[in-house]
Amino acid sequence: MSAVFEVERLSKAFGGLAVTQAVSLAMAPGDRVALIGPNGAGKTTFVNLVTGHLKPDSGVVRIAGEPLNGMNPMQRVQRGLVRSFQVTRLFPEMTPREHLALAVLQRQGRTGRLYGTLWSMPEVLDESEALLRTLGLEAAADRKVAEIAYGQQRLLEIAFALALRPKVLLLDEPAAGVPQSETPRIEAALAGLPADLAVLMIEHDMDLVFRFAKRVIVLAAGTIIFDGAPGDVTKDARVREAYLGSYADDRSVA
Ligand SMILES: Nc1ncnc2c1ncn2[C@@H]1O[C@H](COP(=O)(O)OP(=O)(O)OP(=O)(O)O)[C@@H](O)[C@H]1O
């Protein structure tokens, strides 16, 4: 299948520090990829380059064949490249239903008209309702975000991203900080993501990586040192040295 997301020789240095070094990858619709690597490997910088929050020194990012060079983050969202909204960017006084309605309006380019007309737009409300149901957020739908559980806030991040109808979804540690009792719901939400969506998840929790990803990319010191099947990643000598040594040993004992 042809690539929906392509990164070609993306590079970025901060002063003398080369943080992203000629990184290339391609993903097809439906791919489930985990991006892992030690602290400081350059994962966040890579995502910021891709989303347009940072300007690369060189390289190209394409969505469905279209180069995104020079586009700002919002233009990239409109092309289908969506990073899951961060909890810290949710509005504490607004409800999940209101967030999702706003996301749908944003996608439709109608954010100028807010509350007065929002509640008389049945198609916006129906879509919000469907997302609330998909993510299991019905019970929290009309409570203030500040008052709902952290796990529900993280589910809302995913719902918000889906309301933007991404082709490529970048997820940043979707279960981090979530109490163990709530993680099964996050994992269920990940398992239920649209089948044709390409998902790139940055994750430190290797158990979650192994349950979610069909392919693992390891970044170390700004370069990709492994890109392959989850079953092979813990056997790879460079990966063991750079990152996963102790985890791999634990698994081989288990
Ligand atoms: N704006 C910046 N200016 C200078 N150096 C930076 C900047 N942003 C990141 N760095 C450096 O780039 C390197 C990669 O950082 P980055 O945050 O991308 O790594 P990471 O893999 O996301 O790490 P973590 O897993 O800890 O979040 C680090 O050495 C960091 O100090």
Ligand 1 neighbourhood includes 40 CB (under 6 angstroms): yes
pLDDT tens column, 184-212: 999 999 999 999 999 999 998 899 999 99
Ligand 1 neighbourhood includes 12 CB (under 6 angstroms): no
Could you tell me which CATH class the domain 1-80+166-254 is placed in? alpha beta
How high is the ipTM of this complex? 0.94
Ligand 1 neighbourhood includes 222 CB (under 6 angstroms): no
State mean pLDDT over 226-231. 95
Of the pLDDT bands very low, low, confident and very high (cuts 50, 70, 90), residue 88 is: confident
Report CA-CA distances (Å) from 27 to 6, 32, 174: 6, 9, 20
pLDDT at 3: 96
Q: What is the mean pLDDT of the chain?
A: 90
Ligand 1 neighbourhood includes 91 CB (under 6 angstroms): no
Domain edges within the chain: 1-80+166-254, 89-165
State mean pLDDT over 53-58. 96
Task: Provide the whole-model pTM.
Answer: 0.92
Q: Pocket of ligand 1, candidates 17, 20, 35, 171: which has the most ligand atoms within 8 Å of its Cβ, to mutate?
A: 17
pLDDT tens column, 4-28: 999 999 999 999 899 999 999 999 9
Distance CA 42, CA 35 (A): 10
pLDDT of 115 strictly over 60? no
Report CA-CA distances (Å) from 248 to 41, 64, 206, 241: 19, 36, 10, 10
Least confident of 16-20, 75-79, 106-110, 215-219: 106-110
